[in-house]
Chain A
Amino acid sequence: MNLHRIAAVIDKEIHDALRNRYIVMLMVLLPIVFAAIPILSLTSIRQIPPSRGSSGELPPALARRLAGLPPQAQLEVFLVSQFTLLFWIAPLAIPMTIAAYSVVGEKREKALEPLLATPVTTGELLTGKALAAACPGIALSWAAYLLVVAAAHGIRLSPPALETLWGPTAWVQIFALGPLITLLATLTGLIVSSRVNDPRLAEQIGMVVILPLLGLILAQSFGILWLSGALLGVIALFLVGVDALLAALAVALFERETILTRWR
């Protein structure tokens, strides 16, 4: 692995992505949306009279954990933990789009042949593409998260809710699980992208990754499951394994000869 070559690939991908209007639009809109949803909902529940916020509606596991807190705080903690889950998904859309276009786009422009004639290895090429695709989305989702944290302080969220939003459990989710899931989606997008000729198909298949995540969010909101610190740790380890496997698979499935000669 030569870092200069990886950097050159990243540079190319970022420049290319910034000239894609759709991707730029996503880059502007998504962080705003992902910051706005939590901020607006948290602001609005502050307006609800405290008596209405009833702990009876919370998932039983959470209600037990939060027993003793005022109902308003309970509701806030619940909402905050739901929104933290949102940040697992927040960084996904941009990387998926970039990854899906990156190999297919180059196949269409026939730009892969001269590129593969350089000393760049498949590992370097895919590392560059994966990083270039994943990093902007991750950075933007972190920016959105920090906005939400700032706003939460601004609207004086109850201390237990603030702790949930800005504490180790949230950090694991936002700074570890978010990037790991993004990498997973990006690698899936790259693999599909190197095997098909339609970027939308690559994007859609990559998006399938999101379904289990939505499942987790729903499971938690219906109280079927509570994402404790230990469970999050297990999920993170699992994701590290899956990502490593996918990275190896991506390199193995990127058959230079097939890509050059059989994509027409």
Chain B
Amino acid sequence: MIRAENLTKRYDGILALDGLTFEVHEGELLALLGPNGAGKTTTLRLLLGLISPTSGRIWIAGEPMTPGSHGLRRRIGYLPETPGFWERLPAWKNLEIYARLYGVPAPRSRVMALLEQFGLADRAHDPVATFSRGMRQRLALARALIHDPPILLLDEPTAGLDPEAALEVRERLRALKGQGRTILLCTHDLEEAERLGDRVAILRTRLLALDTPDRLRAQRFGVVVAIELDGDPEPYLPRVQGQPGVIQAALRNGRLEIQVTDLRAVTPNLVRSLVEAGAPILSVTPVKASLEELYLQIIREGRGPGESG
């Protein structure tokens, strides 16, 4: 549905995006994860043809996207980083103008239905200037959906919202995902990326990783087993570290956390060896590395020479 090939963007010589190639499949939600300044917004603007790439090519639904592809924009709903409403106009009017620009039939009733759906019907006639951040974000989401587009590009939809408002927006995104839309979701919220994303792309000027969260974890950390002992586990640490198939072992939370190449092949031998050494084992549990660890590691590796922070 969305395909970017070797996208590079420079602003006045500043490299904002370097050779980005990726694809978002039909009906998939791809979370584009990256720190501030990673090039997420730049990527979305390029995909919409709002700015032109320094080099590289883009296809939306099989058609090349250029700044002149006005008709192609009808396939895309866009939630920009800042919602950007006409503040003095009432909420319904903001949406109605967009409905007409997208050529939606019966714009007025479509607008009212969406406002109802997004819990804004009672504020429909108030100027957007009087809206809270959470309300604005819901309104922006409603606007992105006004023409019922098959593709959604969402730029940090929950950034700056209080937890309750963020949760509500996330619930709506989950519902949208269930409707078979193709969604590219930019975020710097790891949990959001993991919970909503079918796949996660980690971006920092260059694409550092792109896969399902589980597979990324497996590739990076192998698998981790936590072994809990009755008593101090420290004396057993050197023994564990010497076992075949163990990548790395450490004490964490009073347990032995052992990174292994393969859960099934390594764990039984590991446990046998500990039992032989007289370790009082209470429990053996496979654990998932947090996406946070994964992300931080990938981002650190991806940092170019001379960069800091």
Q: What is A's interface to B at a CB cutoff of 8 Å?
A: 2, 4-5, 7-9, 11-12, 15-16, 19-20, 106, 109-121, 256-257, 260-261
Contact B73 A118 (CB under 8 A): yes
Q: Decide if B15 is an interface residue (CB 8 Å cutoff).
A: no
- CB-contacts of B89-144 with A (<8 A): 89, 93, 97-98, 100-103, 127, 140, 143
Name the residue in A2, A9, A19, A260 with the highest tally of chain B Cβ atoms < 10 Å from its Cβ: A19
Contact A113 B84 (CB under 8 A): yes
Chain B interface category by residue count: 20 to 34
**Bound Cα distance A147, B80 (Å):** 49
**Bound Cα distance A7, B102 (Å):** 12
Contact A261 B11 (CB under 8 A): yes
A5-B101, A257-B50 known; A117+B73 contact, CB < 8 A: yes
A117-B50, A256-B67 known; A110+B80 contact, CB < 8 A: yes
**Bound Cα distance A11, B93 (Å):** 9
A5-B101, A257-B51 known; A117+B80 contact, CB < 8 A: yes
Nearest Cβ in chain B — how far from A55, in angstroms?
55
**Bound Cα distance A7, B127 (Å):** 21
Contact of A12 among B74, B76, B97 (CB under 8 A): B97
Nearest Cβ in chain B — how far from A108, in angstroms?
9
Contact of A11 among B50, B71, B82, B97 (CB under 8 A): B97
Nearest Cβ in chain A — how far from B84, in angstroms?
4
**Bound Cα distance A147, B48 (Å):** 51
21 pairs, CB–CB < 8 Å, chain A vs chain B: A5-B101, A12-B86, A16-B86, A16-B88, A16-B89, A109-B85, A109-B87, A110-B83, A112-B84, A113-B50, A114-B84, A114-B143, A116-B50, A119-B71, A119-B101, A119-B102, A120-B101, A257-B51, A257-B52, A260-B50, A261-B11
Q: What is B's interface to A at a CB cutoff of 8 Å?
A: 11, 45, 48, 50-52, 67, 70-71, 73-74, 76, 78, 80, 82-89, 93, 97-98, 100-103, 127, 140, 143
Contact A110 B50 (CB under 8 A): no
**Bound Cα distance A118, B98 (Å):** 8
Contact A8 B101 (CB under 8 A): yes
Nearest Cβ in chain A — how far from B169, in angstroms?
17
Contact of A19 among B71, B85, B88 (CB under 8 A): B88
Cβ contacts under 8 Å, B11 to chain A = 261
Cβ contacts under 8 Å, A111 to chain B = 84-86
Cβ contacts under 8 Å, A113 to chain B = 50, 80, 82, 84
**Bound Cα distance A2, B97 (Å):** 14
Cβ contacts under 8 Å, A12 to chain B = 86, 89, 93, 97
Name the residue in A9, A116, A256 with the highest tally of chain B Cβ atoms < 10 Å from its Cβ: A116
Contact B76 A117 (CB under 8 A): yes
A15-B93, A260-B50 known; A110+B82 contact, CB < 8 A: yes
**Bound Cα distance A2, B100 (Å):** 11
Nearest Cβ in chain A — how far from B190, in angstroms?
26
Q: Which residue of A lies closest to B107 (CB)?
A: A8
Cβ contacts under 8 Å, A8 to chain B = 97, 100-101
Name the residue in A11, A20, A110, A113 with the highest tally of chain B Cβ atoms < 10 Å from its Cβ: A113
Cβ contacts under 8 Å, B50 to chain A = 113, 116-117, 256-257, 260
**Bound Cα distance A9, B48 (Å):** 20
Nearest Cβ in chain A — how far from B93, in angstroms?
6
* 8 nearest CB pairs, A to B: A8-B100, A110-B84, A19-B88, A118-B101, A117-B78, A111-B84, A119-B70, A257-B51
Nearest Cβ in chain B — how far from A257, in angstroms?
5
**Bound Cα distance A119, B67 (Å):** 11
**Bound Cα distance A2, B143 (Å):** 21
Contact B80 A4 (CB under 8 A): no
Nearest Cβ in chain A — how far from B60, in angstroms?
12
Cβ contacts under 8 Å, A121 to chain B = 70
Q: Which residue of B lies closest to A113 (CB)?
A: B80
Q: Which residue of B lies closest to A7 (CB)?
A: B100
Cβ contacts under 8 Å, A114 to chain B = 78, 80, 83-84, 98, 140, 143
A114-B143, A261-B51 known; A109+B86 contact, CB < 8 A: yes
Contact B73 A119 (CB under 8 A): yes
Contact A119 B84 (CB under 8 A): no
Nearest Cβ in chain B — how far from A112, in angstroms?
7
**Bound Cα distance A167, B229 (Å):** 106
Contact of A109 among B78, B84, B97, B143 (CB under 8 A): B84
Contact of A260 among B45, B86, B88 (CB under 8 A): B45
Cβ contacts under 8 Å, B73 to chain A = 117-119
